[in-house]
Structure 1
Amino acid sequence: MAVVDGPRAGGARVARPGRAELVAALRDATYEVLPFRSAEEKVLADVPTDVALTVTTTEAKGLGPTVDLAVRLTGAGYRAAPHLAARLVRDRAHLADLVAQLTEAGVDRVFVIGGDAAEPAGTYVDALGLLESLDDLGRPFATVGIGGYPEGHGSIAAEHIERALEAKAAHATQVITQLCFDAGTTVDWARTVQQRGVTLPIRVGIPGAISRQKLIRVSAGLGLGQSARFLKKQQNMFWRFFLPGGYSPDRLIQRLTPAFGRTDNGLHGLHVFTFNELDTTEAWRQRWLARLG
Structure 2
Amino acid sequence: MTTVSTPSITGAELLLRDFSLEMTGKDTPKLQVTAESLPVGTRINVTYLGNEDLPLRREAARSVRSLGLNPVPHISARRLESQERLEEFLAALREDGTQQSVFVVGGDPTHPHGPYTDSMAVIRTGLLKQYGVTHVGMSGYPEGHPNIPDEALWAALEEKSALLAAEGLEGDIITQFGFDAEPVLQWTAQLREREIHWPVRVGVPGPAGVRRLLSYAARFGVGTSTSIARKYGLSLTNLMGTAGPDRFIRALAAGYDAATHGEMKLHFYTFGGLSATSTWIDEFRTTEGLK
Structure 1 residue identity aligned to 2:251: R
Separation in 2, partners of 1:184, 1:266: 16
Alpha carbons of 1:265 and 1:159: their partners in 2 closer, same or farther (altered >3 Å)?
same
Contact 2:78–2:114 (CA under 8 A) maintained in structure 1: yes
Separation in 1, partners of 2:196, 2:47: 25
After superposition, what is the alpha-carbon deviation per residue over 1:208-241, rounded to whole angstroms, capped at 9, x for unaligned? Answer: 122236659xx8xxxxxxxxx8852267469844
Alpha carbons of 1:75 and 1:283: their partners in 2 closer, same or farther (altered >3 Å)?
closer
Alpha carbons of 1:259 and 1:60: their partners in 2 closer, same or farther (altered >3 Å)?
same
Structure 1 residue identity aligned to 2:21: Y
Partner of 1:242: 235
Partner of 2:12: 22
1:109 corresponds to which of 101, 113, 128:
101
TM-score between both structures, scaled by the size of structure 2 = 0.80
Contact 1:19–1:258 (CA under 8 A) maintained in structure 2: no
Partner of 1:182: 180
Separation in 2, partners of 1:235, 1:292: 29
Structure 2 residue identity aligned to 1:100: A
Contact 1:29–1:271 (CA under 8 A) maintained in structure 2: yes
1:133 corresponds to which of 114, 122, 125:
125
TM-score between both structures, scaled by the size of structure 1 = 0.79
Q: Secondary structure at the match of 1:73?
A: helix
2:251 corresponds to which of 245, 251, 255:
255
Task: State the shift of 1:192 in Å.
Answer: 0.7
Separation in 1, partners of 2:237, 2:209: 14
Contact 1:27–1:289 (CA under 8 A) maintained in structure 2: no
After superposition, what is the alpha-carbon deviation per residue over 1:122-160, rounded to whole angstroms, capped at 9, x for unaligned? Answer: 111110110122457536222210000000001111111
**2:51 aligned with 1:60:** yes
User: Identity of paired residues, percent?
Assistant: 29
Contact 2:15–2:253 (CA under 8 A) maintained in structure 1: no
- The runs of at least 4 aligned residues of structure 1 exceeding 6 Å deviation read none
Structure 2 residue identity aligned to 1:208: G
Alpha carbons of 1:27 and 1:287: their partners in 2 closer, same or farther (altered >3 Å)?
farther
Task: State the shift of 1:54 in Å.
Answer: 0.2
More displaced, 269-278 or 158-167? 269-278
Task: State the shift of 1:195 in Å.
Answer: 0.8
Superposition pairs for residues 2-151 of structure 1, below 5 Å? 19-36=9-26, 39-47=27-35, 48=38, 49-61=40-52, 65-107=56-98, 108-134=100-126, 137-138=129-130, 140-151=132-143
Q: Which residues of structure 1 form unaligned runs of 5+?
A: 1-17, 220-228
Q: Secondary structure at the match of 1:292?
A: coil
Partner of 2:220: 233
Partner of 1:204: 202
Structure 2 residue identity aligned to 1:93: E
Q: Which residues of structure 2 form unaligned runs of 5+?
A: 1-7, 165-169
**What RMSD, in angstroms, separates the aligned Cα atoms of the two structures?**
2.8
**Count of matched residue pairs:** 264
Q: Secondary structure at the match of 2:246?
A: helix
Contact 1:70–1:81 (CA under 8 A) maintained in structure 2: yes
Task: State the shift of 1:96 in Å.
Answer: 1.8
